Structure 1
Amino acid sequence: MIDNICRGELYIADLNPFEGCEQGGIRPVLVIQNDKGNKFSTTTIVAPITSNIYTKKRIPTHFTIDYALDRKSVVLFEQIRVIDKNRILRYIGKLNSKDLKNIDNKIAISLGIEKV
């Protein structure tokens, strides 16, 4: 299990098994859980990332990343999920501070805290 996971970090994680339209497989994820929760819990909260940006319909819960990954990708905040830290395979990068602030809006939209 990887220790010292922090909010805003990007990891490769194993999201198998999955059902229906859930994002699954070995793929990048963005950690969105707060650092205190990450320190004391054996789970973390993540949003899956896809590089299939041209086949996905753009919706307000999507956030584009064009750095830190092999290719331009989209964070899917409509698919936020809790995963066990044992699913996290390796570190790949971190969001910059500007983008870290911007994702709060996407999370709020996804959870119905903020209206579109």
Structure 2
Amino acid sequence: MNPPEFPRPSRGEIWEVDWSPGRGSEQTGKRPALVIQNDHGNHSSLYPNTMVAAITSHGREIPFHVFVRKARLNGLMSDSYVKCEQLITISKERLIGKAWGKLTEDEMGQVAEALRRSLALT
């Protein structure tokens, strides 16, 4: 029997995610998220999950948030913040449609630094 087909996200892509049901202050509804998991896991048909960071248009200038200007490349509809303290492992089934776009290498470098701060890896 073949494993089920899942979307194949890539690190750095922005996808719409069905966050529901959320609890407490977790994200809910359909909202954009940045794929932060490595592509080995993302592209494996044997691994049905991926890791994402929430994206919001109502972020703050804090060390865990990365400001991203809306651009054709990333597909965002407004200037936004990647919330590198709000991380979650989700089933790839929660990814809706196809990727909106992707972040630049510079933006992903900023995300990597914010993730290191958030997870106390520096």
TM-score (norm 1): 0.89
Task: Describe the SS at the equivalent of 1:79.
Answer: strand
What is the aligned residue count?
A: 111
TM-score when normalising by structure 2: 0.85
CA-CA distance at 1:37 after TM superposition: 1.1
The counterpart of 1:74, out of the listed 70, 81, 91, is: 81
The 1:99/1:22 distance shift into structure 2, 3 A limit, reads same
Which residue pairs with 2:65 in the alignment? 62
Map of 1:73-92 to 2, 5 A cutoff? 73-90=80-97, 91-92=99-100
- Which of 17, 22, 29 is equivalent to 1:13? 17
Structure 2 unaligned residues grouped into runs of 5+ = none
SS in 1 for 2:63: coil
Identical pairs, percent: 37
> Secondary structure in 2 aligned to 1:4?
coil
Greater per-residue helix proportion: 1
Structure of higher CA gyration radius = 2
Contact 2:9 2:42 in 1 (8 A): yes
Deviating 4+ runs (over 2 angstroms): 1-4
Q: Does 1:45 align with 2:51?
A: yes
Alpha-carbon RMSD across the aligned residues, in angstroms, is 1.3
Instruction: Look up the equivalent residue of 2:58 and give its one-letter code.
Output: N
Name the amino acid aligned to 1:60: P
In 2, distance between residues paired with 1:24 and 1:49? 12
Shift, 1:2, TM fit: 4.7
Structure 1 CA distance for aligned equivalents of residues 83 and 116 of structure 2: 13
Per-residue CA distance 1:74-112 (angstroms, 9 max, x = gap): 111111110000000031010011111221101111111
Alignment counterpart, residue 30 of structure 2, candidates 12, 26, 33: 26
